[in-house]
Amino acid sequence: MSVNSVIRDYGKPSDHEAFVSAERLNRCYWADIGLTLGSVLMPAGAVLDWFLYPDAFTSLLVGRLIATTLLVAGLMTRRHWSAGRWFSPVSFLLVFIPGAFMCWMMHATDAGQSRYYFGLILLMIIVQMLGFSAVESLICCFSLIAVYAGTLVANNGLSVLATDVAIEGIFFLSVSSAACVTVCYTYRKNRFEAYCLQQDLIEKERQRRESILQLQDTEQQLVHSEKMRAIAGVAAGLLHEINNPVNYSLMAIKVLKKRLAKGGDPSETIADIEEGVTRISHIVTDLRTFAHPEQLAVKSDILLIDAVETAIRFLTHELPDGRVQLDEPSLRVIVSAAQSQIVQVLLNLIHNGERAIRDRDKDQPPVPGLSGQRSQSSETRKKQIYVSAEVDGPRVLVTVADEGVGMSDEQIEQAIKPYYTSHVGEGLGLGLGICETIVSAHGGTIRFDSNLGVGTKVTFDLPLAATAVSSRDGAKSTSQTILPSDMASTSR
């Protein structure tokens, strides 16, 4: 037994009301069967009386009818006595009645030599099926042996107890009683153990459900924490992004004041101010949408390039100029998706690509003195991130490829697993896992193709909108994923 296993002490069977109730129902079930069979077989046994003991047929038939009447009465009133404290005594009595009647038939026929002796052994076998406890079965069997012995004494006196017939009969009844008591004890013990195991399973299931709820709560808290970290990082960049149009608008206001003072036309300056304020409004709207995204079930037709550009705006403070290259014609396709969720996927993938490029630059710093050369090698030129799309039947394949450090096969397998990150101290490692969840909710899959020291290409698919009309002349994109020659070779 393992150290972590727990042994529970359930006490006695009588301490559990549920088990006692189940035992009562079990005995009632078999009592119905036994009383029904007894009510049918008891009078049917008159045929056996006719052939074995025709001289005593009339008296035996009367006895059978009396016993049958008692069994039928017990069957008809079972709903009443089985519900109260008379349950055990009455059920015991209904077993004892057929046994007493068999002993009377033995007395009326051949006593110790009567063939009805085997009926007592059969009755002890039936007792094993009725759900009696070991004590109840012991009392029942002892009572039947006592009545049998009384029958022998009534026929031949006390001296018969020393004869071979009495010794043999009492011996076989005793052996049958021992077997009956053992079976009843073992059967009841096994039923109680099964009940205990069932209670253990119920308790384990309750604990499992509680653990799942706790894990779900913890997961939601971690995802929320990851979201807050992402929002904090995005907000830092957006402060810089907002500062530019604010300064631009303030300068325009100063110019407007001077023009108004000189009586000049203010319309051009007002247009400049409106453009700056509109820019700020768009940034704030993007941030609010990212902080409070719509549910995955709430989908609409969106222009894919809008989601890409929103994600890039969030990362402006981290991305050097010209880092992200867009295949705009292919991205001008309409998909059916939750825009804020797709923005989150693209933001994670582009951000991961930027970190991968920085990691590669650390391993392979630029070689000084090459900036003035006409061409540079792929190792020293400025590395980029490529975003493109391709229509594939009813789906749109979106690709985000970077020229970063790349991933090994082991890292690819671990990529979308929760809490896995190659940058300790930077997030909880939930980014790609959340991406996979969002893409799956859109009926798609996410795939990673990567080579160490070359780069990584991530492809996921989204449903094409029913309209599938581009915002520019509704033209379908025919361009393919833009990759430099060294990136194209990484596709597998």
Residue 465: inside a domain, yes or no?
A: yes
Q: Quick one: 199 and 299 in the same domain? A: no
Residue 6: inside a domain, yes or no?
A: no
CA dist., res. 98 & res. 67, Å (int): 7
Q: Is the pLDDT of residue 249 over 60?
A: yes
The tokens of 324 are what? 């992200």
When mean pLDDT is compared across 9-13, 51-55, 160-164, the lowest value belongs to 9-13
Mean pLDDT (the chain) is: 77
pLDDT at residue 335, as a whole number: 92
Radius of gyration for the chain, computed over Cα atoms and rounded to the nearest angstrom: 45
Q: Is the pLDDT of residue 288 over 90?
A: no
Q: How many domains does the chain have?
A: 2
Q: What is the pTM of this model?
A: 0.45
- Residue that is last in its domain, among 171, 187, 206: 206
Q: Quick one: 188 and 336 in the same domain? A: no
Q: Quick one: 462 and 346 in the same domain? A: yes
3-state secondary structure of 302: strand
Q: What distances in angstroms separate CA 176 from CA 122, 136, 359, one per listed residue?
A: 9, 15, 85
- Residue that is last in its domain, among 150, 180, 206: 206
Residue 82: inside a domain, yes or no?
A: yes
Mean pLDDT for 230-241 is 61
Residue 249: inside a domain, yes or no?
A: no
- Residues β-bridged to residue 392: 395
- Residue that is last in its domain, among 160, 190, 206: 206
Residue 100: inside a domain, yes or no?
A: yes
When mean pLDDT is compared across 273-287, 347-361, 474-488, the lowest value belongs to 474-488
pLDDT at residue 1, as a whole number: 41
pLDDT at residue 367, as a whole number: 44
Q: Quick one: 72 and 183 in the same domain? A: yes
Q: Quick one: 314 and 186 in the same domain? A: no
Give the structural domain span for 88: 13-206
Helix pair 164-262, 117-127: axis angle to 10 deg: 20
Mean pLDDT for 134-148 is 87
pLDDT at residue 487, as a whole number: 39
Instruction: Name residues whose C-beta falls within 8 Å of residue 216's C-beta, 6 or more positions apart in sequence.
Output: none
Mean pLDDT for 149-161 is 85
Mean pLDDT for 465-485 is 48
Residue 161: inside a domain, yes or no?
A: yes
The tokens of 428 are what? 């909880």
Share of the chain above pLDDT 70, in %: 76
Look at 297 and 155; give whichever has higher pLDDT.
155
Residue 86: inside a domain, yes or no?
A: yes
Residue 87: inside a domain, yes or no?
A: yes
Q: Quick one: 172 and 314 in the same domain? A: no
CA dist., res. 458 & res. 147, Å (int): 89
pLDDT digits (tens, 9 = 90+) for 68-120: 898 888 888 887 887 777 777 887 788 888 888 888 888 888 877 888 888 88
Q: Quick one: 77 and 178 in the same domain? A: yes
Q: What distances in angstroms separate CA 262 from CA 162, 234, 256, 265, one per listed residue?
A: 144, 43, 10, 9
Torsion of CA 218, 221, 227, 233, to 10 degrees: -100
Share of the chain above pLDDT 90, in %: 10
Q: Quick one: 183 and 300 in the same domain? A: no
- Residue 393 sits in a domain whose CATH number is 3.30.565.10
pLDDT at residue 486, as a whole number: 40
Q: Quick one: 20 and 141 in the same domain? A: yes
Instruction: Name residues whose C-beta falls within 8 Å of residue 164's C-beta, 6 or more positions apart in sequence.
Output: none
